[in-house]
């Protein structure tokens, strides 16, 4: 299944592939090696784009005490930090790095009400840069759980990710595991959690959206 955000990129890729095919056959008709290389390049481009925008079906399983992974990827940060945009207090930050080969659909880590949703234009530092959380293009979304606790999560652009898509609006009913956005071409998602949660993942662990439990409420 292909994600709807991929249709424009796939159409553009098909046009590029068609142009490569036409040009190689027109200008290099007598050079079979160049034609073969052109076909291989076209195939590589098409397969790369299709795998990037794949959207595998994920069964939504509600676990009210758990905070599940909002993205596929690898845990690169587990540390306490001071969050200054919304909470203005100490939070536990858990960051997930999404490589270009990961599924890039983003999902709600908890159920509740969207209390805050904001887009921030910014830079395109590499996703593991220390200042990427505050200076890169990003979105910030806060969901309030029915237990009264709030969880903040950010989609953060990277050096390759030049477009963040999010569908959340303040007042929306967030369903745990349901899709809230998409990041194109690799980046990261930060979770800012209450410091009282019990962490269930380790650094460098690979996680899967809506499947891996990141932490549980105390």
Which are the catalytic amino acids? Answer: 187
Between CA 194 and CA 191 the distance in angstroms is 10
Between CA 38 and CA 136 the distance in angstroms is 36
Count of C-beta atoms within a 10 Å radius of residue 170: 12
Torsion angle (degrees, nearest 10) of CA 60, 217, 119, 87: 170
């Amino acid at each position: 299944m292909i994600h709807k955000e991929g249709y424009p990129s796939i159409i553009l890729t098909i046009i590029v592939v068609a142009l490569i095919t036409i040009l190689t056959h027109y200008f290099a008709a007598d050079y079979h090696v160049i034609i073969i290389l052109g076909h291989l390049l076209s195939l590589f481009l098409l397969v790369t784009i299709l795998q990037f925008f794949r959207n595998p079906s994920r069964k939504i399983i509600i676990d009210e005490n758990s905070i599940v992974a909002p993205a596929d990827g690898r845990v690169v940060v587990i540390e306490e930090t001071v969050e200054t945009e919304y909470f203005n207090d100490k939070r536990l930050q858990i960051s997930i790095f999404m490589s270009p080969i990961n599924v890039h659909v983003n999902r709600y880590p908890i159920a509740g009400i969207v209390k805050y949703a904001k887009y921030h234009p910014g830079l395109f530092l590499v996703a593991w840069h220390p200042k990427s959380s505050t200076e890169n293009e990003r979105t910030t979304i806060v969901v309030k759980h029915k237990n009264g606790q709030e969880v903040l999560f950010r989609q953060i652009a990277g050096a390759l990710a030049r477009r963040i898509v999010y569908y959340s609006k303040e007042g929306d009913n967030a369903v745990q595991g349901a899709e809230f956005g998409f990041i194109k071409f690799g980046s990261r998602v930060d979770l800012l959690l209450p410091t009282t949660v019990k962490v269930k993942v380790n650094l460098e662990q690979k996680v899967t959206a809506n499947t891996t439990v990141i932490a549980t409420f105390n």
